[in-house]
Amino acid sequence: MRFRTAFSIIMATLFLGPILWVLLGAFRYGEVNISFQNFSRLLTYGEGLTTYLKNTLLVVVVTVLGSLFVSLFAGYAFARINFRGSKVLFIAILSILMVPHASLLIPLFIWLSKLHLGNSLIGLSFVMIMYQLPFSVFMMRNSFEAVPKELDEAAMIDGCGRLKMIFLVLLPAVSPGLITVGLFAFLASWNEFITALILLNDGSKFTIPLMLVNLVRGDFGSIDFGALQAGIVISAAPCVILFFVLQKYFVGGFTAGAVKG
């Protein structure tokens, strides 16, 4: 028992140590231990922190809403509608997982340019939705399959159409899986770097991860570690807060999605 306690303390220290170091560096400026000077400098860095936050939030909102919309109806279709080629289409969607995202960036860059979505936050959002498609559809299909089909039959007997049945009857039952999809879409789009780096070339459209990389480069090779650590805190805080708020739904979504696969 003592060994387990000591081991747990050591592991917790290893994981929490870097986080505490970043927090201390973010709130320390010179000899002042508690200061918001590092955060205030980010407001005027580059295009300004507010611009980077707005860009990131736009990508996040479009990605999350798009992923929820597509996965909800696609998951229902694969779970409840027996149409020709459904298995082949489902496997084709899952096969996206086997393709490295980096290998898709150049073709995507070309296609987005042809569609006049190059160097566009909306274009970046569409790419992020595509990245989330396999996991999102898989999760929602399993969530719908975990719901008894008798609910569908009872709703139709009461006169519900298909759309009304999905939103009023089935949606509350699959909400943990939907929240899990939204949480993963948020984390992926909020933290995405390589795709944003390739698809965006205008500094006014950069997101938070690109801002952090520019901070690392610094001017003439110098690095403002205080501002960098403040940027890391700003980048990580929403992810940590959202995970703790939605933790029980997150676990419930995976439990429901594991019933059938």
pLDDT digits (tens, 9 = 90+) for 217-229: 665 566 778 888 9
Residue 48's CB: how many other CB atoms inside 10 A?
14
What is the rounded distance in angstroms from the CA atom of residue 238 to the CA atom of residue 189? 12
Measured in whole angstroms, the distance separating CA 185 from the mean position of its chain's CA atoms is 3
Q: For residue 91, what are the contacts with CB-CB under 8 A and spacing of at least 6?
A: none
- Give the residue extent of every domain in the chain: 1-35, 47-257
Measured in whole angstroms, the distance separating CA 166 from the mean position of its chain's CA atoms is 24
- Taking residues 237-243, report their average pLDDT: 88
If we measure between CA atoms, which residue out of 193, 85, 68, 82 comes closest to residue 133? Answer: 68
pLDDT at 252 over 90: no
- Taking residues 188-192, report their average pLDDT: 94
- Taking residues 21-35, report their average pLDDT: 82
> Domain 47-257 falls in which CATH fold?
MetI-like fold (1.10.3720)
Pseudo-torsion of CA 156, 157, 160, 166, nearest 10°? Answer: -40
Measured in whole angstroms, the distance separating CA 235 from the mean position of its chain's CA atoms is 13
What is the rounded distance in angstroms from the CA atom of residue 200 to the CA atom of residue 208? 13
Pseudo-torsion of CA 252, 253, 255, 260, nearest 10°? Answer: 150
Residue 259 has what pLDDT? 47
Residue 58 has what pLDDT? 96
Residue 192's CB: how many other CB atoms inside 10 A?
24
Hey, which residues does 29 pair with through a beta bridge? 32
What is the rounded distance in angstroms from the CA atom of residue 247 to the CA atom of residue 32? 36
pLDDT band at 256 (very low <50, low <70, confident <90, very high): low
Q: Which residue has the higher pLDDT, 33 or 71?
A: 71
pLDDT digits (tens, 9 = 90+) for 148-166: 888 888 888 888 888 888 8
Hey, which residues does 32 pair with through a beta bridge? 29
Instruction: Concatenate the DSSP letters of all residues of 124-193 into one string.
Output: HHHHHHHHHHHHHHHHHHHHHHTS-THHHHHHHHTT--HHHHIIIIIHHHHHHHHHHHHHHHHHHHHH--
- Taking residues 196-207, report their average pLDDT: 92
pLDDT at 88 over 70: yes
Classified as helix, coil or strand, 51 is helix
pLDDT digits (tens, 9 = 90+) for 96-139: 888 888 888 989 999 999 999 989 999 999 999 999 999 999 99
